[in-house]
Each structure stands twice: as C-alpha cells, then as structure tokens.
Amino acid sequence: MRQNLARALAYMSDFGDVVSESDRAFLDKPDQVVIWEQRLYCYSYHPDLSAETIFQEFVRWGDRFPDPTTDFSAHDRNPNRRLRIGYVSPDFRAHSSRFYFWPLFCHHDKAAFELFAYSNVEKEVAWTRLFRGQFEHWRDIRGVDDEAVVNLVREDGIDILVDLCGHMQDERLGVFARKPAPIQATWLGSAWTTGLKTIDYALFDPFVAPEGTLTREAIHRLPHSFMVFQPPLETADIVPPPCLKNGHITFGYTGRSERLNHRTFRVWGEILKRLPDARLILDYASFADPMTQGRFRDLLVKHGVDTDRVTMRRSPKVFPGLNDIDILLDSFPHGGGTMLMDALWMGVPFVTLASRPPVGRLGLGMLMNLGLPEWVAATEAEYIDKACHFAGEALTLKDLRLGMRERMRNSPLMDGPGFARAFEAAYRTMFERWTKEVPPGQRTHPD
C-alpha cells in the first residue's frame, strides 16, 4: 500500500516522497480509515509543510463527519454542583502518558468532580488497575462501537468529555464526532488539533500555544505548563556529566526517528564540524537494527554528519543510557515530549528550537517553566550556536545536572496539586460559559 510506504519513509526520517506517496494512496481509497490515520501522522512530522497546510488536512479529515443532532436543553446547568468529567483513552496502561495522567487523576478534587473513565485499553495491566482506583466509575469500551459508547456517555450524564489520545493509536474520535456531551475537550495525546468541529476546547499553555496557534478547537491556556511529570519510582542515579571524564562533549538524541529529517541532520552535522572532538549518540529502537543503521548512516553522510563520531544503539533501560550524554539535542520542527522530561530528570539539559506550534514548542514550555530560557533557540543558526556554546561550559553542565531534579520538583512541571487545581478551574470556566448559552428550547423569536 502506498500509504504504508509513506509511513515507512517517515520512520526512516526521509520525507522527500511522503506526501506524493500518500496522495497516490488517496486516489484509490480516499475514505479508508487507516490511510487517513497514517496520513495525518506523517503530515504532523513533515519538516517542510507549514502549520497551515497540516492544520487544513486535519480539518479536511474532521469535515468528513456529518453534523450531529444534539439536544442538551434538559441538561442540568447548575454551575455550582459536582461536575461529571469523562476521560476517554486507550492509554490507561504502561504507556508514556501515565507519567502525565497520574499527577492529574490522583490530585483531582473528588468531592467537586465525579470522574468517569472510558477505557479503550486492549489488555489490562498493573497500571490499568492503579488508574481504575482513581475513578469513581470505570467503563470498558474496547470493542464497543461508537454509537453504543455515545449512548453510554449520555446515560452517564457527562458534563465535560475529554479526549486524551488525539490522533494517536486506538483513538475514539468517532465518539466525539457525535457530540454525546455538551462540552468536549482534548488534552495531551498528539498535542495538536483533532480537526473536529464538535470538540470545543484544546488545553495548552501560553508557551506551547501562543497567539496565532492553529486549532479548530478554542484554546484554553493553563497558567504554567499544560502537562506535569511523575517520573517512575525507580530510575538511575545521576552522575557527573561524562565530558568531565571523557575529555569531549557527547550529544544525544533518544526519541522516535520520524521526528528527524534533513533539517535536523544538517544542523547536527554543522555542530559536529564546529566541535571536532564531539560525539553523538542516537539511542532508540529504530537505531538498533544493523540494516536500519546503514540507511541512517547514508542519510547522515548526505547531510554532512561525520558518522565515525556517531553511535547508534538501543539502551536496555532509558535512564542509565542518559548518563552517557552531556547535552540532548531536541528534534524539530516536531519536538520531543517524554524524551525531554526523561533527560531533565537525569540532569541532562537540552537545546531546543521554538518551532511550529504547538508540537514544535514542547521543549520551550518545559525550559520556560524551569527558568532556563537560554537553552531555547529561535532559529537553526542559533540552535547551532547554543549547542556549541554550552558544550564548552563543563562547570555549567555539572551544576545543572546535579541540581536539575530539585529544580524540577520546585517547578510547575512537577506540581501535581497545582496542576489539578488549574485543570479544575478550566472545567468550571468551560461549564459556566456553556450555562450562559440559551438552550434551543428556550430561545425566543421576534414576531
């Protein structure tokens, strides 16, 4: 299938023919669900498409759904009562989303909010059972068709239904397209627009989604960070930066390969040229296979990277592997997410490019909340300059590394209670705004 080829090319960080192959797939099957899912995924990571082009493709997907018939005139509009919040996700499990879900769910004010989980988890694991304990009501919707889930949401009397997946794997956006709740929102997941006109809000923060950010939903900006981090209970101990013993700086990248492209490779190649003793580690599953390594070496060489100084590997455990890296290099125009939080928890700072909002500004949001704006670049040239500058600041790297966990603990990035209060204030604002709308059955018409 052409779309499979397009996605494979994206996984190999080679986007030259991604759009054309996807377009060819569309000629034959313009309405196939899988083609649409993979197309939107590839578009999100494409280095040469504008935010406007990508946004319009999401809207095009969303416009495929007919306008739903809704009537919430009988819905209780008392803004002071206990609100019913429904969370829909396939990731109530050992997924990276758990690091962000947990601080919200466990700090929710259960006296003011009645929590419902609509779980699309394929296989229940220990983490699923932990999440189950945070919800007053748990609904398993795996294998349940959209219309039946819609009826369940309506029967539950949900006030605000929240999508936690976006366009990631096993999404249930077909439920949201039918508008079963008077207010619908999206948070986390693929961290951009859903493209649905039936989702009212997207929750972000001022750094990730500045004025002008393109979303079909209205943006509700949380005051500090749009996500908080709960690291695993067991991680490796922090060690001094490896440059102190190696005598050279080691850069690293520990994320998915589809975030990489000719632009990142060119910039990384320039950094290595300016620092002839520097090394680069690419550490992720994509870089472990010998044949795949050969393909990446060809791409790296094509864009000016000295592959003799590049190590490709997959560390058995993420956190100990980060102890080999002095400075992480964020991807662009689609930035990293959990890989950046993991690095910070291990004391590894990163250089990031404030790129295409919102997914190109996740690193910016983290660093601003940590009080480290000097690690944010506005251009590719500045990204190179900053990486080379900080590579020569061994004492700065040491101080940052040894103090980073305490910095994180004292920042909004790990303030679970404060984050939950901000989320709940957002829900109250959304609901109060909705209560001021006149229900269809109560509208008066001029003679």
Contact 243, 394 (CB under 8 A): yes
The chain-wide mean pLDDT, for the chain, equals: 95
Q: What is the pLDDT of residues 245-280, one digit of tens each?
A: 999 999 999 999 999 999 999 999 999 999 999 999
Give residue 438's pLDDT. Answer: 66
Write down all domains in the chain, each with its CATH number in brackets. Answer: 2-46 (no CATH), 83-228+416-437 (3.40.50.11380), 243-409 (3.40.50.2000)
Contact 208, 361 (CB under 8 A): yes
What integer is the mean pLDDT of 154-165?
98
Query: pTM of the entire structure?
Result: 0.95
Q: Which residues pair with 202 in a beta bridge?
A: 186, 219
Give residue 176's pLDDT. Answer: 98
What integer is the mean pLDDT of 160-164?
98
Percent of the chain at pLDDT > 90 equals 94
Give residue 29's pLDDT. Answer: 82
Token pair recorded at residue 65: 């759904």
Q: What is the pLDDT of residues 188-205, one digit of tens each?
A: 999 999 999 999 999 999
Token pair recorded at residue 192: 């951009």
Q: What is the C-alpha separation between 8 and 29, in angstroms, rounded? A: 19
